[in-house]
Amino acid sequence: MSPEVDAVLARLVPHPEDGSRADGPVAVDATDRLLLDEARALIQEHPRDVVVIGDRFGALTLGALASGALRVRTHQDAITAEAALEANVRHAHRTLRAAHAQASADVPVRHEPAGMGLTRHDRLEPSLFAGARTVLLQLPTSLAELTEIAEHVARYADPSVTLLAGGRVKHMTHAMNDVLGASFAQVGASLARQKSRLLIAREPRSGVGPLTYPVTARLTDPEILAAIEPTGPGTGNGAPDGLTVVAHGAAFAGATLDHGTRFLLAQAHRWPHLPDGPVTPVTGTSDAAGAPTTPAPGMDAHPVAVDLGSGTGILATVLGLRYPNAHVLASDRSAAACASTRATLAANGVRAAGVVRDDAGALLPIPDGSADLVLLNPPFHDRAALSTDAAHRMFATAGRVLRDGGELWTVFNTPLHYRRALERAVGPTEHVAQDPRFTVTRSVRKLLTDMSVTGG
């Protein structure tokens, strides 16, 4: 690796952290460095045709630019990764400019040395890969996600493309080779270095049929059928005979009903009744078809139900079917999850709903204290690492957006012991149900319940 690239990587931080925490994430790991070393010659050969997928903190994107890339197209499923890239562009801007100028001077004259471009794509799409010669990928843990990425590269990139997919050896499996082999005729592996290794795929296969993802399934589990029974006046037509779920590769649990969501749905008969009223759209969201919604006066007079961390949108869709007079909001940090949620809502005819991609519901476009009900099945992993940070941010969001007396229903892995955290963030919390793996709690928002605030 050149000194110029090293200088850029040294400027990066694991945003939103600064990298000082001993047990915290690192902005640049051995896999990033191995990918950049192996890709350097390819980048300089075709500096305008570089694509980066799954960059965690910007090391691959900025490292490619520092290596001489004149244009890099990126896709990061997590909006938190997008924010980290933006932050590191600012941190490393001057150093990156200097490194890029030096690297461009070493590129053959047939390439224009001036300027460098960075284009972000918020979804996997043909334009992301069109004409790509080099694709750098941090291997996802999900084979479904890898399948969707590999199929897009093989179908839409240049036929001479090289896909370099890197990961930690302990997280790599032979099944990943098989997934790549379904889309590429030539798949090999690099030597391991510092416990990281690359899978290298070339020669996209032709005539392999349509894309596998998104996939669609019809769910008729009894927990779903009971939960989607409409409540309130004017709902005498009965419940649908099932729920259609649409899932992209990176969406948690795919087109199935995961155990935690199933257990939360089993408690739906205890969820609150929501006030009746006309449905109005909420500003700043997109509807099930992806079109922006418009502001609505007096929205705070209408029932609002929220699905935090929506995944494939099962809970959001249940809310829309169960409470036909409510407006449903769904949020997730994952681009694949938001696309899946929109598709699932649309497939089930839920139109009074909005979907927003954000971090832990921080950008929900509703006033504080305006939601009647929040459902939450929080993540407890960040890729391969165990992490409860997102859950605690979601608890804070629920406490902020709920009305006084509004309810948060949470399902979580029992060993995580979230009850006290829920009481601090939201209000009085009761243990509703527990099975060998999961716990369901009900938290009621009570303003000024903290003794230190009230002085009581």
**Secondary structure letter of residue 253 according to DSSP:** T
Q: What would the mean pLDDT of 188-209 be, rounded to a whole number?
A: 95
Kindly list the structural domains of the chain, giving each domain's residue range(s) and its CATH number in brackets, ordered by start.
3-204 (3.40.50.150), 215-454 (3.40.50.150)
445 Cβ partners below 8 Å, 6+ apart?
A: 398, 399, 402, 403, 404, 405, 406, 407, 408, 426, 427
pLDDT of residue 103: 78
For 258-263, which contacts have Cβ atoms below 8 Å and span 24 or more sequence positions? 258/377, 259/437, 259/438, 260/377, 260/411, 260/412, 260/413, 260/437, 260/438, 261/311, 261/314, 261/315, 261/377, 261/411, 262/221, 262/223, 263/411, 263/433, 263/435, 263/438, 263/440
CA distances to 84, 204, 211, 219 from 165, rounded to whole Å, are 21, 15, 20, 34
- Could you tell me the pLDDT band of residue 261, with boundaries at 50, 70 and 90? very high
Q: What is the pLDDT of residues 94-127, one digit of tens each?
A: 898 888 788 766 655 444 444 578 999 999 999 9
Give the span between the Cα atoms of 375 and 191, in whole angstroms: 46
pTM of this prediction? Answer: 0.89
Q: pLDDT at residue 299 above 50?
A: no
More confident residue, 216 or 117: 216
Block residue for tokens 């099944």: 175
- Could you tell me the pLDDT band of residue 239, with boundaries at 50, 70 and 90? confident
Q: What is the pLDDT of residues 61-84, one digit of tens each?
A: 999 999 999 999 999 999 999 999
Phi, psi of 326 (to 5 degrees): -100, 155
Residue 350, Cα to own-chain centre: how many angstroms? 22
- Could you tell me the pLDDT band of residue 301, with boundaries at 50, 70 and 90? low
Q: What is the pLDDT of residues 170-182, one digit of tens each?
A: 999 999 999 999 9
Q: What is the pLDDT of residues 16-38, one digit of tens each?
A: 998 888 888 999 999 999 999 99
- Could you tell me the pLDDT band of residue 453, with boundaries at 50, 70 and 90? very low
Helix or strand run (H / E) with residue 44: helix 30-45
